[in-house]
Amino acid sequence: MMTSTRSKHAQAGGFLLEALIGVLIFSFGILGIVGLQAASLRHTGDSEYRAEAIYLANSLISKMWTDDPAVLKAKYDSTVGGAGYVTFKNDAASLPGVVVATNTNIPIVLIDPAAPVPQSPSVQGHVVLVSVFWKTAGDTAVHNYTTTGVVGSNPP
C-alpha cells in the first residue's frame, strides 16, 4: 500500500508541466503569426507607394507626349525647374519622405534631346528619365522608381 501512495505523489504536477509546455509552444506560434502579419503590412505599404510612384512617373511622361516637344526641357527638366516640373514635384510630395520645402527626396526628371532616337532612326524626339523617391517612417533606405521613355514624333 505504501508503494502505490508514493507513485501517486511522484507524478503530482506532471500534467501541469505538460500544460505549461503546451502554452509555451502555442505562444511561440502566435508570436510567429503576429510577426508575419507585421511584415505583410510593411510590404503592402511599400507596394502601395511603389504603385503611386509608377503612376506619377508614367503620368508625367504622358503629359509630355501631349505637350510641344520644343518646350519639354524648359518646362519639365529638373535642372531647369520649369512649371511642369514644379507641379510634378508637388504631386510627388504625396509620397512619404518627400519634403518639397527642403528638397528632400524630390523627383528627378532629365530630358536629353536625341535626334535620332537610338532604337528608331526615323523618330525625332527626346529621351526622358524620371526617378521618383520615397522613404517610409522607420525605414533607413530611400526607395525609388526610375523609368525612361522616348517622347517625340515621326518626322513629316
Interval 70-85: pLDDT, tens: 888 899 999 998 999 9
Q: Which residues pair with 42 in a beta bridge?
A: none
Question: What would the mean pLDDT of 87-97 be, rounded to a whole number?
Answer: 94
Look at residue 123 in the predicted model and tell me its pLDDT: 57
- The rounded radius of gyration (Å) of the Cα atoms in the chain is 30
DSSP state of 18: H
User: How do residues 95-131 score in pLDDT, each as one tens digit?
Assistant: 999 999 898 999 999 998 655 555 555 556 788 999 9
Alpha-carbon span 129 to 10, nearest angstrom: 78
pLDDT, residue 98, reads: 92
44 or 142, higher pLDDT: 142
Q: pLDDT grade, residue 155 (50/70/90)?
A: low
Q: Is the sign of the CA dihedral 74, 77, 82, 83 positive or negative?
A: positive
In the structure grid, which three cell numbers stand for residue 1, read together? 500500500
Q: Report the pLDDT value the prediction gives residue 125, as an integer from 0 to 100.
A: 79
User: pLDDT tens digits, residue range 11-65?
Assistant: 667 788 889 999 999 999 999 999 999 888 888 878 899 999 999 999 999 999 9
